[in-house]
Amino acid sequence: HVQLVESGGGSVQAGGSLTLSCTTSGFASTTTYCLAWFRQSPGKGREPLASIYSATGRTFYPGYRRGRFTISRAGAKVDLLMSSLKPEDTATYYCATHSTRDGGVCEYLMHTASTDYERWGQGTQVTVS
């Protein structure tokens, strides 16, 4: 059965760095997908931060935030590397997948800030003070 599990959240001082990990399991051998990191704060929708297409490793970022948040493969895991953290980065962070055979779909989902993903993890809390 398909599972997504986030880990690595915690408390960090402003200006610090943190790496979150998303571990996937249960996908069929023929499945390819976009895997994206989102965050959500009280009173806000889920905001996409970065994504990767599993078949090729191509990555996608919102144009206004490229660089401070980086998506990276780490063995069987997909990491979100966060640096220069600010108090406004305090949120619950999620990973999610959207099945597709076309990496252009991942680009479209990022460009439109879509939350149309089929599977979601439970979230991990990040607090910046």
pLDDT digits over 12-54, tens only? 999 999 999 999 998 887 889 999 999 999 889 999 999 999 9
pLDDT at 43: 85
d(CA 104, CA 90): 30
Helices (H), the chain: 103-111
Q: Which of 28, 71, 29 is nearest to 49 (CA)?
A: 71
Pairwise CA distance, residues 87 & 116, whole Å: 28
Contact 58, 34 (CB under 8 A): no
Mean pLDDT across the chain = 93
- What's the pLDDT score for residue 96? 97
At 65, the pLDDT band (50, 70, 90 cuts) reads low
pLDDT value for 106: 96
Q: How far apart are CA 99 and CA 91, in angstroms?
A: 26
DSSP state of 113: T
Res 1: pLDDT: 82
Per-residue pLDDT averaged across 68-84, rounded? 90
For the chain, percent of residues with pLDDT exceeding 70:
97
Answer yes or no: are the C-beta atoms of 110 and 60 closer than 8 Å: yes
Alpha helices (runs of H) in 5-118, residue ranges in sequence order? 103-111
